[in-house]
Amino acid sequence: MDLSLIAFFLGFGMLAALATGIWVAVALFAVALAAIMALVAVPAGAVMATTVWGASNSWDLTALPMFIWMGEILFRSRLSEDMFAGLSPWMRNLPGRLLHVNILGCGIFAAVSGSSAATTATIGRMSLPELKQRGYDERMAIGTLAGSGTLGLLIPPSIILIVYGAATEQSIARLFMAGVLPGAMLCLLFMGYVALWALANRQKMPPREEPVPFVSRLIATRRLFPVIGLIAGVIGSIYAGLASPTEAAAIGVMLSLLLSWASGTLNRKSFADALMGATRTSCMIAFILAGASFLTVAMGYTGIPRELAAWIGSLELSPYALLVALTLFFIVLGCFLDGISVVVLTTSVILPMVEQAGLDLIWFGIYLVLVVEMSQITPPVGFNLFVLQGMTGYNIFRVARMALPFFLLMILAVVLIVAFPDLALWLPQTMLSN
């Protein structure tokens, strides 16, 4: 049978399986099994067992449950309240005022959680009622939260970067460092847009509040010290070459437990809830990764990725044309799948053509995460939209319209890292561990 016809049937089978609502991992295993049993003369059971064990028995993946647990612990602490109290006095003189707290708060929490949904939920739980009470425009309050919540995917320790690193055998430490400057750039783009919007829509801004004395601002800043110390302990130890991502994750869990205990939020129930939440999320991701690894091996047996890469190469697309095509492909795919599923589903097929185009795989990981970030605020399957729908009670499409300007700013961020690749590559090249 022609390989293009085989690819069509397998792709249709995958879409049909996902459309039934079954788990993504089960769909991956089912399609891979069907491909091997129907097309290849090898023992499917033995291949599946070997592949699943190989995908699960990876030291790099040890960091995954630890970082997830760290985020779960902090999600149940008073971290968002401390960040709001520490940031808000400094934001009152900027155009847009406390709307910037959403952006900076999400950026800071992203640096200790690694999860987009957890970032959105934690900061939103504190900031949305405060902004509404003070008379800020609801559309901008929700929009800034939806857009900035996606920073959890990019700013280290990012769960999706760990998944990408494990799937592509790239250094997770270098991927973490590569995400720092693009994450900061995205924060600045969001803050710049908010400032311009506030200057152009003064009538939609609440009356100015009483200025906070400088000494009072310094005193309020003390509430940021614990989280800054946590970020320095995790990211700083990786950058300085003092710890691997797994060791840094263990440091992060220890510091987050200490921070939660010091704030009075650590008890038997919160500890057990955080541990079970991390266990459920880690198992889900590990199951998807095992399924994706099995599908990758099955596709390798069929020869589809090799033929697809050769076909793409025959088109003689420039690297920029390839990136435009991939961006459109990922945006459409992200409308129906979560970010981790997009990465594990496409890696085996996309990487041969990416390598053939001469693109750096560390840089491509950051590009991919930036594009996947957009899927967090695109209906019908946008996790940040689901979180905000639950918090506000608004229709998911209404929340998506509020987030549209930030979706467009993410496209601008993709253009910038394509034009200036050193935004992603400079920090990994300066790591002491090199």
- What integer pLDDT is reported at residue 211 of this predicted model? 74
By 3-state DSSP, what share of the chain in percent is helix, strand and coil, each rounded to 5? 80, 0, 20
Q: What average pLDDT does range 214-230 have in this prediction?
A: 82
How much is the mean pLDDT over the chain? 82
Measure CA 270 to chain center.
25
- What integer pLDDT is reported at residue 432 of this predicted model? 59
Q: What average pLDDT does range 16-41 have in this prediction?
A: 80
The CA distance from 319 to 385, in Å, is: 32
The CA distance from 288 to 302, in Å, is: 21
Q: Are 194 and 398 in contact (CB under 8 A)?
A: no
Question: What is the percent of the chain where pLDDT is above 70?
Answer: 93
Burial 73-91 (b: 16+ CB within 10 A, else e): bbbbbbbbebbbbbbbbbb
- What integer pLDDT is reported at residue 306 of this predicted model? 64
- What integer pLDDT is reported at residue 309 of this predicted model? 60
Q: Where are the alpha helices (DSSP H) in 150-267?
A: 159-168, 172-178, 180-200, 214-221, 225-231, 237-239, 245-262
The CA distance from 114 to 124, in Å, is: 16
Question: What is the percent of the chain where pLDDT is above 90?
Answer: 12
Specify the higher pLDDT residue, 349 or 251: 251
- The band of 3, judged by pLDDT with boundaries at 50, 70 and 90, is low
Burial 201-215 (b: 16+ CB within 10 A, else e): eeeebeeeeeeeeee
Specify the higher pLDDT residue, 29 or 2: 29
Q: Is residue 391 over pLDDT 60?
A: yes
Measure CA 166 to chain center.
15
What digits encode the pLDDT tens for the residues 297-332? 777 777 766 666 667 667 777 888 888 888 888 887
- The band of 362, judged by pLDDT with boundaries at 50, 70 and 90, is very high
The CA distance from 241 to 245, in Å, is: 10
Q: Is residue 180 over pLDDT 80?
A: yes
The CA distance from 102 to 88, in Å, is: 10
Specify the higher pLDDT residue, 42 or 197: 197
- What integer pLDDT is reported at residue 197 of this predicted model? 93
What digits encode the pLDDT tens for the residues 147-166? 888 887 788 878 888 888 88
- The band of 425, judged by pLDDT with boundaries at 50, 70 and 90, is very high
Report the sign of the C-alpha dihedral through residues 400, 404, 410, 415, in that order.
positive
Specify the higher pLDDT residue, 188 or 379: 188
The CA distance from 365 to 243, in Å, is: 22
